[in-house]
């Protein structure tokens, strides 16, 4: 049983120097997360269900009606791990537990996203958690079907793969990228768990390694999640959308993300749109002896630098996205969550 603080305490979260990154972002009172296994480094892995507020039968280009829900609702499916076929085997529950889980997991399978994730990690493994920014980005993808429908898209720092899974409900091909074999394997399991969502829309999700600190994509067939030459050609010839959520927590990595985004945009055959999701977090720093938003401030400075970039080939137009679109996923849409749109187009 996971029990967290009341909603009022969650509205203004302050991270201090001794704060442990944990399930503070997954505010889920009176709901349980089903622990299904330990990963390769001994971290508990949980399986949660995220409710979708739409029906594929009645889904239209204008989007579904949704309200602003104050907290994340998750329900536990009665399954454990996902095998190579994508079918989760039964776990060792009692009949009573299975009955309870069955009662909680109401609704069509197309109304639920099932995600394996961790609750608490060291900083280098934050991608294994589910962050509110990923839910906001997924919401925007559902709202902007016109931007994603039939396209080839790439997610930078996909983490658990939630946003890529949502994108595949409308996109033709989604390259779900990150680094780390354990994290990418978790991505692959989540995609298998939700393969029915992508299949219903005709989309394909491909999990691939993309290291922001390297200029080229890995093509070594001996390396898990490497790229084939055909996939690289498809990426550069057809991609029109890039997206990323909650990858702006470290200044050096933020610099690397923007460098990668610029490099990809210059290599793509078509003009592209990038959608970035970020949460403005308050941190107490010894240097300032005050609460600041240094990571967010650095993110904004990188946006300004990208917009001012002049190389004679591309220009980048940066626009904030008003987060007033309908909420189609159930989570806490707090005021610190932001979306930014970057349009990369040839200089004429």
State yes or no: pLDDT of 124 exceeds 70: yes
Mean pLDDT of 86-92: 28
User: In this predicted model, what pLDDT tens digit does every residue of 274-332 receive, in sequence order?
Assistant: 999 999 987 655 555 555 688 999 999 999 999 999 888 999 999 999 999 999 998 88
Residue pair 86/193 in contact by the 8 Å Cβ criterion: yes
Tokens of residue 28, six digits: 């889920």
Phi-psi group of 336: left, alpha or beta (phi > 0 → left; psi -120 to 50 → alpha; rest → beta): alpha
Mean pLDDT of 235-246: 98
The DSSP secondary structure of 245-294, one letter per residue, reads ES--SSHHHHHHHHHHHHHHHHH-SS-EEEEEEEE--EEEETTTTEEE-H
| Predicted local confidence at residue 55, as pLDDT | 54
What is d(CA 132, CA 58) in angstroms, rounded to the nearest whole number? 26
* Fold adopted by 125-346: Rossmann fold (3.40.50)
| Predicted local confidence at residue 344, as pLDDT | 96
| pTM summary value | 0.77
Residue pair 133/277 in contact by the 8 Å Cβ criterion: yes
Mean pLDDT of the chain: 78
In which band, very low, low, confident or very high, does the pLDDT at 1 lie, cut at 50, 70 and 90? Answer: very low
Alpha helix (H) residue ranges in 81-149: 95-104, 132-143, 145-148
What is d(CA 16, CA 11) in angstroms, rounded to the nearest whole number? 16
Could you say which DSSP state residue 126 is in? Answer: G
Residue pair 142/63 in contact by the 8 Å Cβ criterion: yes
| Predicted local confidence at residue 330, as pLDDT | 86
User: In this predicted model, what pLDDT tens digit does every residue of 127-150 receive, in sequence order?
Assistant: 999 999 999 999 999 999 999 999
Longest dimension (CA), the chain: 66
Residue pair 257/244 in contact by the 8 Å Cβ criterion: yes
């Amino acid at each position: 049983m996971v029990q967290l603080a009341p909603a009022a305490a969650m509205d203004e979260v302050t991270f201090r120097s001794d704060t442990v990154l944990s399930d503070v972002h997954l505010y889920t009172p009176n709901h349980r997360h089903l622990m299904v296994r330990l990963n390769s480094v001994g971290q508990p892995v949980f399986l949660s269900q995220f409710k979708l507020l739409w029906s594929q039968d009645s889904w239209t280009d204008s989007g579904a009606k949704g309200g602003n829900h104050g907290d994340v609702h998750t329900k536990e499916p009665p399954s454990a791990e996902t095998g190579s076929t994508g079918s989760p085997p039964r776990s060792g529950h009692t009949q009573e537990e299975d009955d309870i889980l069955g009662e909680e997991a109401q609704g069509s399978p197309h109304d639920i996203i099932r995600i394996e994730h961790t609750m608490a990690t060291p900083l280098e493994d934050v991608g294994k958690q589910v962050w509110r920014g990923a839910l906001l980005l997924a919401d925007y993808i559902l709202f902007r079907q016109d931007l994603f429908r039939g396209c080839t898209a790439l997610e930078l720092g996909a983490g658990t793969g939630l946003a890529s899974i949502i994108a595949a409900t409308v996109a033709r091909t989604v390259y779900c990228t990150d680094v780390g074999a354990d994290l990418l394997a978790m991505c692959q399991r989540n995609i298998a768990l939700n393969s029915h969502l992508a299949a219903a829309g005709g989309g394909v999700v491909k999990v691939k390694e993309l290291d922001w600190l390297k200029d080229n994509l890995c093509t070594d067939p001996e390396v898990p999640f490497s790229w084939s030459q055909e996939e690289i050609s498809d990426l550069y010839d057809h991609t029109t959308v890039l997206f990323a959520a909650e990858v702006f927590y470290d200044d050096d990595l933020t610099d690397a993300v923007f460098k990668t985004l610029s490099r990809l945009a210059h290599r793509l055959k078509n003009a592209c749109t990038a959608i970035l999701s970020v949460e403005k977090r308050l941190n107490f720093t010894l240097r300032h002896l005050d609460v600041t938003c240094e990571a967010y401030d650095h993110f904004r400075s990188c946006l300004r630098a990208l917009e001012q970039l002049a190389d004679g080939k591309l220009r980048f137009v940066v626009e904030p996205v008003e987060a007033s679109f309908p909420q189609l996923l159930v989570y806490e849409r707090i005021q610190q969550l932001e979306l930014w749109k970057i349009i990369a187009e040839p200089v004429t």
